[in-house]
Amino acid sequence: MSNTIRVRFAPSPTGPLHIGGVRTALYNYLFAKRYNGKFILRIEDTDDKRFVSNSESYILETLKWCKIIPDEGVGYGGPHTPYYQSKRGNIYKLYIDKLLKKGEAYYAFDTYNDLCTRKIEYAKKGLVFSYDHKTRMYLNNSLNMKEKELYHKLSSCYPYVIRYRVNPGQTLKINDIIYGDIKMSTDYLDDKILLKSNGKATYHLANTIDDYLMGITHILRGEEWISSVLFHVLLYKSFGWKIPFFAHLPLILKKNSKLKISKRTINNSDFPIYPIKWISYEENKIIDGYRELGYFSEAFVNILALLGWNPGGNKEILSMKELEKSFSLKRIKKSNVFFDIKKAEWLNKQYIYSKKKEVYFFVKKLLNKRCLSFSTFYLWKVINLIINRISFMNEGIWNDIFYFFVSPNFYTKKSFLYKISFERSIFYLKEINYSLNNYIFLYNKLKKNFISQYKDKNKRIIFMKLIRLALVGSLKGVDLFIILEMLGKKESIRRIKVLINNIKEKKFL
C-alpha cells in the first residue's frame, strides 16, 4: 500500500471552464507535482439537462494550453477507467443498494410539482421548505408506506428518487487544511437526493464514491462546497470509508458584482473569464479567452497561481517549475479574491521580453496576411525596437509596427497641423524634404546633421513632429531618427510628399 498523494480535478461538462476552474485544476496539479503525487481528470457528466457537447474538448484543450497535464483520466487513460461518471452508473447503484439495505436511504415519490407547491406554501408563511427529518414523515416516500404499497409503486414504474436519510442530533466535523475546523449539526442537513428520477446519481453520491474508488487522498475544490462537505463526510461514514483530506479554495469574485464567477454571468464580468476561445452553439456566439487576447499561457498560469496563494517573499514572476517547487496548501488564503486585470496585463508584459521569438513569428504571420515580405534582419530589428511597447501577442501589435512596413493611411494627430496652419506645414515639410535629400541615412549622422542644421530647439521640435506625422501617421512611435534610417531616404521623402499632397487636397478636414 503506497502513500502516494492522489488528487483530482472533476469538472462538469456544462459549458466552458472559467478561470476559477482553471485555478482549481492548477492547484491540484501543483500539489500533485510538489509531492510527487498523481493528478487525475474526471468528467462529472451526471447532469444531462445542462450538458453541452463541446465542453469536454474545451476542458481538455484549456488544460493542454496551460500545461496542466493529468497523469490519469479522460484523454489520458489509467487504472480506474472509465473516468466519465455517466459510464459508472452501475457502480453507483451498487452502493445505493447498500444504503437502502441499511435503511440509510429511501425512495421518494414526490413529484417536482408536489415539492414546488410545498415550497410556495412555506414561502407564504415566511418559511423555507426543506426535505429533512422534520418533514419527511409527511411526504410521499417509502418511510411512510407499507411494503406492499412500495412494491406496487416500484413495479408499476412510478418515477422516484432515492434520498439519504439524515440522522439528526449528530455533530459533524472536519479539519479543512485551509479553513481549519468546520462543524455542523446534522439537524440542518436535508435529505439530499442520491439518485435522480432519470436513474443517474447526483454529484454528492457519484463524487464521493469515485473519490473513494479512485483513491483520492486530498480533495481540493472551491469554497462553495464547504456547505456540503459535511454531507459528504456522512456518506463516507455510512460506507465506512476513510475520510480524505479536504482543502477548500477561496473563490474568485467579480469586482463589479462581487459575486463568484460562473458560466452564466459572463456578460457582467469586468474581466474575461474564459482561458481560451469559447464557441457557444446554443447562443451562436464566440467569446475570446485569454489566449486569443494575447496572453501567454505561462503568464496566465502565473497570475492565477497568485490569486489566493503566494510562496512568501516578494517574488511574483514564477514559472511552472518554480510554482511546482514552492506550492503549499498552508499558504493558501481563506478570503475570497478579486481578479485584477491590470495586474494580469502587467504580468503578461513581463513575459513578453522572453518571448521575442514568438513575437517574431507572430509578426511574420501578420505580414504574410497582408502579403508583405521583409528580410529577417529587418524584421528582427523591428522586433527589438518595439518589444517594450507591446503587452499582448494579438493583432493589436500591428498598430505599433505597421509604419515600418507600410505608409500610414490616416493621420490621427492631424490637429497638430492646425496649430501651425496648413500653409506653413507645407512650407516646412518641403524644407525638410530638401534637407533630408542631402543627408546620409544612418542614425548617428541623421541625428547630428539634423540637430546642427536646426539649432533652434522649438523649430526643431515642430519639424520633428511633422516628420513623425508623415512617417507614422501619429505622434507616437520609436525614436524618429531610427525610423528614418529604417525606412531609408526614398521612402521617407515619399511619405512626406504624400502628407504634403494630403494637406493640399484637404483630405483630412
Q: Which CB sits closer to RNA, 61 or 345?
A: 345
Q: Shortest approach of RNA to residue 230 CB, angstroms?
A: 8
Looking up cell 476561445 gives: 277
CA distance 392 to 293: 7
Give the closest residue to 12 by CA, choosing from 163, 302, 221, 243. Answer: 221
Task: Provide the grid cell at 363.
Answer: 509578426
Q: Name the phi and psi angles at 128, rounded to 5.
A: -115, 125
Q: Are 101 and 145 in contact (CB under 8 A)?
A: no
Q: Shortest approach of RNA to residue 498 CB, angstroms?
A: 19
- Write the DSSP string, 335-366: S-EE--HHHHHHHHHHHHGGGHHHHHHHHHHH
Q: Shortest approach of RNA to residue 401 CB, angstroms?
A: 12
CA distance 72 to 85: 15
193-195 vs 337-338, strand pairing mode: unpaired
Q: Shortest approach of RNA to residue 435 CB, angstroms?
A: 16
Q: Shortest approach of RNA to residue 371 CB, angstroms?
A: 27
Q: Which CB sits closer to RNA, 217 or 336?
A: 336
Three-state secondary structure call for residue 319: coil
Q: Shortest approach of RNA to residue 324 CB, angstroms?
A: 19
User: Could you tell me if residue 336 is left (phi over 0), alpha (psi between -120 and 50 degrees) or otherwise beta?
Assistant: beta
Give the closest residue to 343 by CA, choosing from 378, 305, 369. Answer: 305
Task: Provide the grid cell at 464.
Answer: 520633428
Q: Which CB sits closer to RNA, 78 or 311?
A: 311
Catalytic residue among 33, 196, 254, 263: 263
Q: Which CB sits closer to RNA, 29 or 109?
A: 109
Q: Which CB sits closer to RNA, 177 or 182?
A: 182
Q: Shortest approach of RNA to residue 185 CB, angstroms?
A: 7
Looking up cell 489566449 gives: 291
Active site residue 315: no
DSSP 404: G
Task: Provide the grid cell at 203.
Answer: 454529484
Give the CA distances from residue 206 to residues 46, 88, 112, 493, in Å, rounded to whole numbers and listed in that order: 8, 8, 22, 73
Q: Which CB sits closer to RNA, 284 or 320?
A: 320
Q: Who contacts 37 (Cβ-Cβ below 8 Å, separation ≥6)?
A: 4, 5, 6, 7, 31, 217
Q: Which CB sits closer to RNA, 244 or 308?
A: 308
Give the closest residue to 42 by CA, choosing from 207, 223, 239. Answer: 207
CA distance 101 to 185: 25
443 C-beta neighbours (distance < 10 Å), count = 14
Q: Shortest approach of RNA to residue 368 CB, angstroms?
A: 26
Q: Which CB sits closer to RNA, 197 or 280?
A: 197
Cα atoms found within 13 Å of the Cα of residue 432, Cβ hemisphere only = 31
Q: Which CB sits closer to RNA, 307 or 318?
A: 307
Q: Shortest approach of RNA to residue 331 CB, angstroms?
A: 6
Give the CA distances from residue 464 to residues 53, 81, 141, 460, in Å, rounded to whole numbers and listed in that order: 58, 69, 86, 6
Interaxial angle between packed helices 226-239 and 203-213, expressed in degrees from 0 to 180 and rounded to the nearest 10: 60
Name the β-bridge partners of 195.
Answer: 162, 201
Q: Which CB sits closer to RNA, 250 or 289?
A: 250
CA distance 475 to 419: 14
User: Could you tell me if residue 371 is left (phi over 0), alpha (psi between -120 and 50 degrees) or otherwise beta?
Assistant: left
Q: Is the previous residue joined to 13 through a cis bond, with omega within 30 degrees of 0?
A: no
Q: Shortest approach of RNA to residue 152 CB, angstroms?
A: 18
Q: Are 140 and 110 in contact (CB under 8 A)?
A: yes
The set of catalytic residues is 263
